[in-house]
Chain A
Amino acid sequence: MSLTTTRRSILALSLVGSLAGLAACAAPGSSTQPTTTAPTAVSTNVGTEPVTITLYDGAGLKTVDDALIAAFNEKYPNITVETRFDPDNVQAQNAPRVLASDNPPELARIVALGDIVTDNLLTPLTPWAESYGWDIPGGQMAMYTVDEQGVRGSGTQYTVASGFVTTGVYYNKELAAQLGLSGLPTTVDAFEAALEKAKVAGITPIITGNSVGQANTAIQMMINNHMGAKAVNDWVFNVPGATIDTPEATAGVQIVADWINAGYFNADANGTDGAGASARFAQGEALFYLSGNWDASGLAKSMGDNVGFMAPPALKEGTLLAMSDPVTNFGIPAKAKNKDAAAAFLDFLMSAEARAVLVENGFAPSGAGEVPQTEAGSLNEAVQESFAALVAADGQVQFVQNATSGSTAAWNEQSQLLVGGKTTPADFVTAIQASYTEQIGK
């Protein structure tokens, strides 16, 4: 090696070394977050002075948020709501850092509620709940609360949902009639009989876009049936000791594994995405499409009266369970400025006006009260009826992908392995639980 090269290397090394030494002085991260975020004085009177607040949400929710803000401004003309949208998954990832910044929005969509509360980034809503006299159904309240250990499902309230998504089974009415299906297959047995009929007739029984993990909709529906709402919710809320590596969960996954083996899913499921699956269902390729009400308006537009919606099939008649969680779970960041105005918006979310806006947009309303009117015989009506029955049966189950921030990746990977015949139901739940434990313990 020439002298020049040696000297240059030494210079470069010492430069990097000294800079690294400088940087290594302090641990990254901040210990200066406020340890208590409880507001001191709250008011339900937002006055008449102009106030501006910022709302931060996922881009997919822009339409419904804009409609909510318009309705809100009729009631509170002095509060200007500015909006800021990031793509849904980007918003979920960025929210913790945006909340930790010095100038956070007044209202933000919160996905990883437990972590964010543990990091003291949110304002407890208890004082406003008392002042406004919020009366929130228990199943909904569970999605808003976190206890002192960071476990969700009980404790202090930190969020209010703009509305709810719900899940179920879309069916093609023409194909159902063609196959001679009498009545809706509301039990797993009846559902499997319908799947077999479709298969024999050469119609794809269930279309699914599993490149984005859509088979998990079927998988969780069957896990819900076998584990019950409480056990699944406890797992998602990170209750200590909760596990999904159980014989019940394995039995649920086994049902879907049998469907896969029987050829009840489209053969290219792992190479199809969600948009592709719903488009092909709309074109009449399949009898069933398992999804949520976010697909309702699109399917109603392309299929007209030919599409129906029903709750997930249950093990036995009379039980009702379905994945359902907030459209947007709005919280007020700890460092936000105009908290009273933000709380007025949260209060508004449970008003009759806001509930009507949600229903118009195909979602289920927040809070309690009369179900807002929908067009008779429409798909939206079927969705709203299904949701109302679900709330009445206290059958709202959290999406398992929301258990930890890395859960979606784990469920997608495992469901693709299951569809590809590369894993067993027992290994499936063991792998999911291992990833969960690693994340919780991190």
Chain B
Amino acid sequence: MTAISSTPTGEAVPRPRGTRGRGARARTLRRMNWGGWLYLVPALTLYGLFVLRPLISTIQYSFYDWNGISLATPVGMANYVKVLTDPVLLSSVGHSFQLMVFFTVIPVVGGLLVAALLQEIRIKGLGTVARTTLFLPQIIPGAAAAIAWVWMFSSSGAVNQLLSAIGLESITRAWLGDFDWALPAVGVIGLWLNLGFCTILLMSGIGKIDASIYEAARMDGAGFWSTFKAVTLPGLRAEIGVCVTMTMIAALASFDVVYMSTRGGPGNSTMVPGVLVYQLGFTESRVGLASALAMVLTLLVFVVILPLQRLFREH
């Protein structure tokens, strides 16, 4: 990039705003008020203690065979080899990616459409009603929502009652106990939780787009779709980025919804890495293996999220 520029003589010359030379940088460093850092000490201490230290401990544990109590034995990369070769552990990662359809794709696309429609219709009060209704799932903890959905998905629950009422009795089943349908059913719970989050964020994003641009588009004769494509979508770049990032992390690191609804069953058909980390670490006391899986999961989140950050960065 072109941030560095200086004349051959090293003399300071007027530069465009926002660029500085090496000499200036050094002088700034010397002149910097290090006392300002003191204000950061409390926050940094807490961050180090409760974020960095556990992270580093997890890295360390992942190289040991440890039951959490007695002296651990170093095992080198064995835990990582197991994580990357065990079919159950690998399939759990696959489930996370399938969940992304429900946690990310549908909420973001749906949220965009709902937000754009509400902006288009502009009926007084409708926006507030929609916002409240859609945001409601956000204030309910995932674990509680999962329990409610377990009842709704049961063989005599609301979902099957609804299907029977409209003549679809033949497809009713215990959704969370069905090997083919349990994962999509868990996905629907995530969809319900995330749709409101995305819609609210995108609606507030639309609010920030200059109304005169919409007016201009309308005067140019643009319909809903062209306005959506030319004004709304580009204007929401940053918000979409946040939605996609947050919901993808929610899918990859999902725990509460799966744990409370199926615990990974039936069989292993809804097992996700988050639940496995818990099960290995706490139920089975295999802290090393659980830590290795947690580290792989963390890296996976980075690998998926970092390119997206680049993509959605505003220029």
Residue-wise interface mask of B (46-61) relative to A, using a CB-CB cutoff of 8 A (1 in contact, 0 not): 0000001100110111
Residue-wise interface mask of B (160-185) relative to A, using a CB-CB cutoff of 8 A (1 in contact, 0 not): 00000000000001111111000000
A416 to B53, CA, bound (A): 39
Interface size class of A (residues with CB under 8 A): 35 or more
Q: How far is the CB of B297 from chain A (nearest CB, A)?
A: 18
Binds A, one of B119-127, B133-141, B205-213, B261-269: B261-269
- Majority-rule SS of B interface residues: loop
Residue-wise interface mask of A (413-425) relative to B, using a CB-CB cutoff of 8 A (1 in contact, 0 not): 1001101101000
Known: A270-B177, A412-B265. A405 touches B284 (CB 8 A): yes
Known: A27-B64, A121-B69. A270 touches B178 (CB 8 A): yes
A28 to B286, CA, bound (A): 13
- Contact between B285 and A28 (Cβ–Cβ < 8 Å)? no
Contacts of B64 in A (CB 8 A): 27-28
Known: A2-B1, A211-B262, A409-B283. A268 touches B69 (CB 8 A): no
A180 adjacent to chain B (CB < 8 Å): no
A406 adjacent to chain B (CB < 8 Å): yes
Contacts of A270 in B (CB 8 A): 174, 177-178, 265-266
Q: Name the CB-closest residue of B to A90.
A: B282
- Contact between A211 and B265 (Cβ–Cβ < 8 Å)? yes
- Contact between A442 and B65 (Cβ–Cβ < 8 Å)? yes
- Contact between B56 and A23 (Cβ–Cβ < 8 Å)? yes
A267 to B268, CA, bound (A): 19
- Contact between B68 and A271 (Cβ–Cβ < 8 Å)? no
A278 adjacent to chain B (CB < 8 Å): no
Binds A, one of B70-78, B99-107, B108-116: B70-78
Contacts of A118 in B (CB 8 A): 70
- Contact between B3 and A29 (Cβ–Cβ < 8 Å)? no
Known: A211-B262, A405-B284, A442-B286. A269 touches B177 (CB 8 A): yes
Q: How far is the CB of B312 from chain A (nearest CB, A)?
A: 17
B91 adjacent to chain A (CB < 8 Å): no
B98 adjacent to chain A (CB < 8 Å): no
Binds B, one of A93-101, A227-235, A244-252, A310-318: A93-101
A177 adjacent to chain B (CB < 8 Å): no
- B265 is contacted by which of A23, A405, A416 (Cβ under 8 Å)? A416
- Contact between A439 and B284 (Cβ–Cβ < 8 Å)? yes
A24 adjacent to chain B (CB < 8 Å): yes
Q: How far is the CB of A134 from chain B (nearest CB, A)?
A: 29
B155 adjacent to chain A (CB < 8 Å): yes
Interface centre among A29, A97, A210, A267 (most CB of B within 10 A): A29
A48 adjacent to chain B (CB < 8 Å): no
- B69 is contacted by which of A30, A276, A404, A408 (Cβ under 8 Å)? A30
Q: How far is the CB of B252 from chain A (nearest CB, A)?
A: 21
Q: Name the CB-closest residue of B to A407.
A: B284
Q: How far is the CB of A398 from chain B (nearest CB, A)?
A: 18
Residue-wise interface mask of B (249-288) relative to A, using a CB-CB cutoff of 8 A (1 in contact, 0 not): 0000000000000111111100000000001001111110
- Contact between B60 and A3 (Cβ–Cβ < 8 Å)? no
- Contact between A115 and B279 (Cβ–Cβ < 8 Å)? no
A31 adjacent to chain B (CB < 8 Å): yes
Q: How far is the CB of B6 from chain A (nearest CB, A)?
A: 13
Contacts of B69 in A (CB 8 A): 29-30, 33, 96-97, 100, 119, 121
- B60 is contacted by which of A23, A93, A97 (Cβ under 8 Å)? A23
B153 adjacent to chain A (CB < 8 Å): yes
A20 adjacent to chain B (CB < 8 Å): yes
Q: Name the CB-closest residue of A to B58.
A: A23
Q: Name the CB-closest residue of B to A270.
A: B177
Contacts of B53 in A (CB 8 A): 19, 23
A413 to B91, CA, bound (A): 14
A193 adjacent to chain B (CB < 8 Å): no
B245 adjacent to chain A (CB < 8 Å): no
Contacts of B268 in A (CB 8 A): 413
Q: How far is the CB of B284 from chain A (nearest CB, A)?
A: 4
- Contact between B59 and A20 (Cβ–Cβ < 8 Å)? yes
B40 adjacent to chain A (CB < 8 Å): no
A208 to B237, CA, bound (A): 51
Contacts of B65 in A (CB 8 A): 442
- Contact between B266 and A420 (Cβ–Cβ < 8 Å)? yes
A279 to B54, CA, bound (A): 43
Other 6 A-B pairs with CB < 8 A, given A28-B60, A29-B69, A211-B176? A28-B64, A29-B70, A119-B70, A273-B150, A422-B179, A442-B67
Of the A-B pairs whose beta carbons lie under 8 Å apart in the complex, a sample of 29, sorted by A's number, is A16-B56, A20-B60, A24-B60, A27-B66, A28-B61, A28-B72, A29-B66, A29-B69, A29-B70, A29-B71, A30-B71, A33-B69, A93-B282, A211-B177, A211-B262, A211-B263, A268-B177, A269-B177, A271-B266, A272-B177, A405-B283, A406-B279, A406-B286, A408-B283, A409-B279, A409-B283, A417-B267, A420-B267, A439-B284
The 6 residue pairs across chains A and B that have the minimum distance between CB atoms? A271-B174, A271-B177, A270-B177, A268-B174, A416-B266, A406-B284
